[in-house]
Amino acid sequence: MTDKDMIICRCEEVTYGELVETANEYGCNARELKLRTRAGMGYCGGRTCRNMVDAVACTVTERDSKQVTLKYQPPVRPVHFGDLGAIGHD
């Protein structure tokens, strides 16, 4: 296996080649890179690959040190369909 085919985002199986090519073609920041490739949009919410996606984006853009580059979105743990409508009781 070459580096190009090496997986970065394990959930969505996005490869190193795809990320580097997309970053170079569009000169995109981490957020745009994520949206274009789906890296970090899978089951784990990007906990595993976020720093690597960030690193690729940082080769073509400046890091925003005052704002998390890949915004967190709820839910941070997958919610089962049955639980979505559940009413809190406490």
Q: Where along the sequence are the contacts to other proteins (CB under 8 A)?
A: 1-3, 5-8, 10-11, 13, 16, 20, 43-45, 47-49, 51-52, 55-56, 59, 63-68, 71-80, 83, 86, 88-90
Q: Hey, which residues does 26 pair with through a beta bridge?
A: none
* 54 phi, psi to nearest 5 deg: -55, -45
Q: Write out the two tokens for 27.
A: 């000169």
Shortest Å distance, C-beta 21 to other proteins: 11
Pairing mode of beta strands 14-15, 7-9: antiparallel
Pick 6 or 76: Cβ nearer ligand FAD = 76
